[in-house]
Structure 1
């Protein structure tokens, strides 16, 4: 499809991550002349140093757990000694090989995305882009950024992402004190990994390295891990962590992290110290908006440097849009992609559905995973919405029993009176796949009765969704309407 214009519209994009990449594809599809400026590689940090490599690492950790727990299902692994006696096997993780594989996958994905853009007719400039007023991008290219390319554009999309936040008293050195972008240079599994920060990134890597066999200490400044997530879900994850041998230090703030010989020393605010072989800093991120010429172009920023955008990803300057982690919207790769497409659709006059936070499905890739969509139980408690909630443990599900799943649940939140599904939480293996039916129910405003009438395969984990919905039956409702 292409739109009809008096002249060909030009779209300039800074940043080739999920937001910039999707914006470029959408603009090319609509017949615009598209130029994308990217300094690191198509796919951005999401593909090269963040989502793709980290989730590949987690997949390896999941495989290690599946092997170690196979005996619970009656699968016995053994080797035979020289005299024919069975020997208990040990699972060995070749971290160097793991890291080579995941970085190779990231490179392949980046190349594939670049090829798709080229096939769509997108011009790609490798360099650092910045705004030059409201309708131009200047890209510095060549050795040391000494060459410049100026791109005039009717519409500009800024999708520059974010970088790991650093602390003045905990400077990463790339060897022992690391950000999540530096983990993949390690040649061997850390003897003792100290993770500072118990948000999504910290919890995911703590879970992965624990399951790969490393000793892990997780330092949380709050009372529980994943403080911004569903309380019941966070409680399950913390139970799994402690059962797996992880040390979780709650209400503990790291004051400093320094090298200590061949290891690291973390000093807490109460004076305690924790020694380990490596430290991962997972203390948030900062937007890559510095020195982009945004303020000079009139683009409004927050005090933290994030770009203010509305629900169609438009900034305070009418022809400038922004997408992804550099904006004030939800920092998820899927959201960045949707923002990029929405921005272009709006700018070029195509049909637009403004983004709503309640429709966003999100996932935390711990083991088990945590998937959420829509309103939370906390929203009910705060009075943001009126409704009711029901939760069913996975231990009651037949397929879960067959699979040996011990932890997890399905929770649905519905509106008071109508029974319309307004939110849900799933804690389970592959919860990222299981949340989709609830996300559809939230998006299409289905009632719990309508959801319960959908046939689920027996046995299946998805049957827990219909079981929860059935338990929330609204007497006298017209579920065929």
Structure 2
């Protein structure tokens, strides 16, 4: 009589406790791996503590104020002047929620047997990480594999240094004593657009300085146009095709010098000019991990670096800077390490959302890909204002757009601009990931009335009758 030998699972050390790190840890521990996470700030990383959770909580407060101010069109009467934004209370709430979310993740990790080390990490060999704790203790941790998920830090300009009082990066916004009277936002990408939208809805005057001709360069042009119109209606001052040369403090405010010789003054300034990877000084090059000129870690479609046994995930890799992408990369890395079935990462399946008002959600093939000739598609778009549920909610902007492969009718991409687009896009994300036909969406029951009804209606309009 023979007994089966239990083969131990590979052990893994994870550097970074953000979405790429903690999601990987939960998967690895679930399947029996010995897992250690080294995180220098707090579990959840920047995404939970200083970026995604705080910013989206701020945006939720702003959107609530927007809905209240629009309530009179629904027959509700109140004194609009009393709807004020208490930024101290808003900030206290969002920081509390960030801390609570961090604690929830920590408890989940510990419940699954993951060891957590709070400290600095440095690779000393391809399977050895040196951890230096906050009290100065040094420990060398050896494991079968290492995952680097160190994230990114806000980019700073030599002529515009954040001080946390009047000039901010996107990590520093949550200690204000009063709502900015006039916030100057430098940068028209996703981060800049989100904060410009949020603070305008909270009651600030907002000026957005954009080096590009349009908002959200690279995003769906129809969606960007809706947001531009929304900003114009709300009174956001957009200065396009202009760069911020410098930002300096003046009495009770800031002065932003612009290319071309002009300037704009405000009470506060937010710099939203991208991020730089947290890869310096952690031993990557010393152990043979290839990095790009920008400092990002080179990886393949299953998150492997150039060094066997070392994986990487998240913003430090230079792929799409999304928490969901980081988490997916981390899960892919662990599944590959454990020998599980792995679907390589594909940017053509990524769903993303911009938390402006209205929200802008996209998945799969984009308008730019179609314009380049890479994809031959049929597309159809229906304004959200025709949706009965939208009318009930006083929603008069936005749309649903679907891209289907020409000839086959399979859904390859989509755009939703609407309240809660971040939730509505899931139906299109399922369709893209699993190669559903437009008829699959058209033939699926939706609730009447509901915003999802427009997704089904677009799909029905794309049906092609078979001729016999």
TM-score bin, normalised by smaller chain: over 0.9
Structure 1 gap segments, 5+ residues each: 79-87
Structure 1 residue 89 displacement after superposition:
4.2
Q: Distance in 2 between matches of 1:303 and 1:407?
A: 42
Report whether the alignment pairs 1:239 with 2:240. no
CA 1:454–1:141 in 2, change beyond 3 Å: closer, same or farther? same
Q: Name the structure 1 match of 2:343.
A: 353
Structure 1 residue 330 displacement after superposition:
1.5
1:36/1:122 contact within 8 Å kept: yes
Report whether the alignment pairs 1:458 with 2:459. no
Structure 1 residue 102 displacement after superposition:
0.5
1:309/1:328 contact within 8 Å kept: no
Q: Deviations over 1:356-382 (max 9, x none)?
A: 111111000000000000001221111
1:12/1:155 contact within 8 Å kept: yes
Q: Distance in 2 between matches of 1:93 and 1:118?
A: 38
Report whether the alignment pairs 1:179 with 2:180. no
Structure 1 residue 5 displacement after superposition:
5.9
1:377/1:389 contact within 8 Å kept: no
SS at match of 1:435: helix
CA 1:170–1:89 in 2, change beyond 3 Å: closer, same or farther? closer
Q: Distance in 2 between matches of 1:328 and 1:190?
A: 33
Q: Name the structure 1 match of 2:56.
A: 55
Q: Name the structure 2 match of 1:147.
A: 137
Q: Deviations over 1:429-471 (max 9, x none)?
A: 0000111111111111111122111111111111111111111
Q: Name the structure 2 match of 1:94.
A: 86
Instruction: Give the TM-score taking structure 1 as reference length.
Output: 0.95
SS at match of 1:76: coil
Report whether the alignment pairs 1:111 with 2:103. yes
Q: Distance in 1 between matches of 2:207 and 2:223?
A: 20
SS at match of 1:279: strand
Report whether the alignment pairs 1:227 with 2:226. no
SS at match of 2:125: coil
Structure 1 residue 6 displacement after superposition:
3.7
Q: Name the structure 1 match of 2:297.
A: 307
Q: Deviations over 1:1-51 (max 9, x none)?
A: xx9864452210100000100111111111111111001000000000000
2:197/2:231 contact within 8 Å kept: yes
Q: Distance in 1 between matches of 2:413 and 2:110?
A: 40
Q: Distance in 2 between matches of 1:426 and 1:305?
A: 34
CA 1:4–1:472 in 2, change beyond 3 Å: closer, same or farther? farther
Report whether the alignment pairs 1:21 with 2:13. no
Deviating runs (4+, > 6 A) in structure 1?
Answer: none
The one of 273, 283, 291 equivalent to 1:283 is 273
The one of 110, 119, 132 equivalent to 1:127 is 119
CA 1:477–1:131 in 2, change beyond 3 Å: closer, same or farther? farther
CA 1:273–1:89 in 2, change beyond 3 Å: closer, same or farther? closer
1:461-480 aligned at under 5 Å gives the runs: 461-476=451-466
1:395-414 aligned at under 5 Å gives the runs: 395-414=385-404
Q: Distance in 2 between matches of 1:18 and 1:240?
A: 32
Q: Distance in 2 between matches of 1:20 and 1:118?
A: 14
1:423/1:442 contact within 8 Å kept: yes
Q: Distance in 2 between matches of 1:335 and 1:5?
A: 33
2:21/2:147 contact within 8 Å kept: yes
Structure 2 gap segments, 5+ residues each: none
Q: Distance in 1 between matches of 2:14 and 2:416?
A: 36
Q: Distance in 2 between matches of 1:411 and 1:211?
A: 26
Q: Distance in 2 between matches of 1:109 and 1:477?
A: 55
Tell me how large the CA RMSD over aligned residues is: 1.4
The one of 371, 391, 410 equivalent to 1:381 is 371
Q: Name the structure 2 match of 1:216.
A: 206
Q: Name the structure 1 match of 2:128.
A: 136
Q: Distance in 2 between matches of 1:382 and 1:388?
A: 15
Q: Deviations over 1:204-259 (max 9, x none)?
A: 00000000000000000000110110000001001101110110011011111111
SS at match of 1:292: coil
Report whether the alignment pairs 1:30 with 2:22. no
Report whether the alignment pairs 1:272 with 2:262. yes
SS at match of 1:27: helix
CA 1:225–1:122 in 2, change beyond 3 Å: closer, same or farther? same
Q: Which moved more, 1:247-256 or 1:445-454?
A: 445-454
The one of 150, 168, 184 equivalent to 1:194 is 184
Q: Name the structure 2 match of 1:344.
A: 334
Q: Distance in 1 between matches of 2:465 and 2:296?
A: 47
CA 1:415–1:4 in 2, change beyond 3 Å: closer, same or farther? farther
Q: Distance in 2 between matches of 1:209 and 1:409?
A: 24
